[in-house]
């Protein structure tokens, strides 16, 4: 009997609501056998999450087979996935298993799913639906028992609309879709992750642990992180290797982070869950009127608006 690990998700560091919600959904889905689709920009932790799901599932003691769909040569994709019979094509000197056979009893992680050629998608659908597959060159259908986790940095929905991905396969895969949030949407996790990566790198190099000072952390929090957690990890590796044991200042950061344009700040921080802009505007207009005891010129001043713009906005929200 497999032994699902209760702390399989501990490796996913972060306490932002966005990540916590991802982990909650993943824990529930892990306990079932339904296919899971992981969406998210590059470096957001899709593979790490797939591994945690597998470790948390009843299939934890069975293999997790990782298949990168982007790396499959088009002519060999079917035989690599489903195997082939001896003599099925030139060079097929013996009967060979595919990735699906290796994942029998366990979990098949189909990474970069958006890159899977259209030509193989119908066969994969049949496999995802009822585990049926046929080796290339065989008339015989085999049944494989595996759990599918697919991942992509692409928007599969858009690909379906553009005719690059089969709708039926997409709908079969997206029953449980988990979107890994980009790092810029969970900036409160940056300090924790950075510390963790600095300690990890110091342990590996057997050197003293470096740390980022307040200014450096502020820079890190404002950087848009196109490469997400992987990019942060690389920057920590770079800092740990070059500045062991040092308190790292913002000037010590790599140029793309150090020299980024710092937006002029109003002091207002957008909450991670976002805001309702219209409601906020109504709120501010009403508060300004309250503070100025109904004096519209003063209220406009409080909001840095001309009287005309203020009146226009009052009218727009039916506040006059
Ligand atoms: N929440 C996290 N806590 C700790 N480490 C993380 C976290 N998220 C990602 N990482 C680390 O960041 C790196 C990138 O993660 P991963 O390979 O899972 O990303 P990915 O979404 O699969 O990226 P890609 O789309 O490029 O394949 C890995 O080293 C992973 O361990
Ligand atoms: Mg990946």
pLDDT digits (tens, 9 = 90+) for 144-155: 999 999 999 999
Centre of ligand 2 from the C-alpha of residue 68, in Å: 8
Which CATH number goes with the domain that contains 305?
A: 1.10.10
Which CATH number goes with the domain that contains 221?
A: 1.10.8.60
In the structure, ligand 2 is a single-atom ion and the residues with CB under 5 Å from it are 47
pLDDT class for 3, splitting at 50, 70, 90?
A: very low
Q: Is the dihedral of CA 206, 212, 217, 223 positive or negative?
A: negative
217 and 244 within one domain: yes
247 and 118 within one domain: no
Q: Residues lining ligand 1, CB < 6 A?
A: 12-14, 40, 42-48, 153, 193, 229-230, 233
173 and 191 within one domain: no
pLDDT above 90 for 111: yes
Number of neighbours of residue 139 by Cβ within 10 angstroms = 7
Does 308 fall in a domain? yes
Does 64 fall in a domain? yes
111 and 216 within one domain: no
86 and 53 within one domain: yes
pLDDT per position as a tens digit, 263-297: 555 656 677 677 889 889 999 999 999 888 899 99
pLDDT per position as a tens digit, 46-63: 999 999 999 999 999 999
Count of structural domains within the chain: 3
Phi, psi of 214 (to 5 degrees): -60, -45
54, 3 contact by CB (below 8 A): no
Measured CA to CA in angstroms, residue 306 lies from 226, 297, 302, 309 at distances of: 38, 8, 10, 5
206 and 155 within one domain: no
Does 110 fall in a domain? yes
Does 1 fall in a domain? no
242 and 222 within one domain: yes
pLDDT class for 204, splitting at 50, 70, 90?
A: very high
Centre of ligand 1 from the C-alpha of residue 12, in Å: 9
Does 218 fall in a domain? yes
156 and 304 within one domain: no
Domain end, chosen from 152, 179, 206, is at 179
Residue nearest to atom 31 of ligand 1 (CA): 48
> Residue 225 is part of which domain span?
185-258
130 and 44 within one domain: yes
Tell me the H-state helices in the chain.
Answer: 17-30, 46-56, 77-82, 99-102, 118-130, 156-161, 167-173, 190-205, 214-222, 228-242, 255-258, 277-291, 296-302, 307-316
pTM across the whole model: 0.81
Q: What is the pLDDT of residue 2?
A: 43
Which range (73-82, 146-155, 205-214) has the least confidence?
Answer: 73-82
156 and 106 within one domain: yes
| % of the chain with per-residue pLDDT over 90 | 82
167 and 202 within one domain: no
């Amino acid at each position: 009997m497999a032994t699902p690990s209760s702390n399989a998700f501990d490796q996913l560091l972060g306490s932002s609501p966005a990540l916590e919600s991802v982990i909650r959904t993943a824990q529930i889905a892990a306990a079932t056998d339904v296919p899971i689709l992981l969406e998210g920009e590059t470096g957001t932790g899709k593979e790490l999450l797939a591994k945690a799901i597998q470790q948390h599932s009843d299939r934890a003691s069975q293999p997790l087979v990782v298949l990168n769909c982007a790396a499959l040569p088009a002519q060999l994709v079917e035989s690599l996935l489903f195997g082939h019979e001896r003599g099925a094509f030139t060079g097929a000197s013996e009967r060979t298993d595919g990735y699906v056979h290796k994942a029998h009893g366990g979990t098949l992680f189909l990474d970069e799913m958006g890159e899977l050629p259209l030509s193989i998608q119908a066969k994969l659908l049949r496999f995802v639906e009822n585990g049926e597959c046929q080796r290339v060159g065989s008339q015989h259908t085999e049944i494989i028992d595996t759990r599918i986790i697919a991942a992509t940095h692409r928007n599969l929905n858009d690909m379906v609309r553009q005719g690059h991905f089969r709708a039926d396969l997409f709908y079969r895969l997206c029953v449980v879709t988990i979107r890994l949030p980009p790092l810029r949407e969970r900036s409160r996790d940056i300090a924790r992750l950075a510390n963790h990566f600095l300690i990890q790198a110091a342990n590996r190099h057997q050197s003293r642990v470096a740390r980022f000072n307040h200014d450096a952390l502020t820079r890190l929090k404002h950087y848009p992180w196109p490469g997400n957690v992987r990019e942060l990890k690389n920057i920590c590796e770079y800092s740990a290797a070059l500045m062991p044991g040092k308190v790292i200042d913002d000037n010590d950061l790599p140029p793309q982070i150090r020299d980024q344009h710092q937006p002029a700040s109003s002091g207002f921080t957008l909450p991670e869950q976002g805001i309702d802009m219209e409601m906020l505007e109504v709120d501010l207009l009403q508060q300004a009127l309250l503070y100025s005891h109904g004096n519209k010129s003063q209220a406009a001043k409080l909001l840095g608006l001309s009287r005309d713009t203020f009146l226009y906005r009052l009218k727009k929200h039916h506040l006059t």
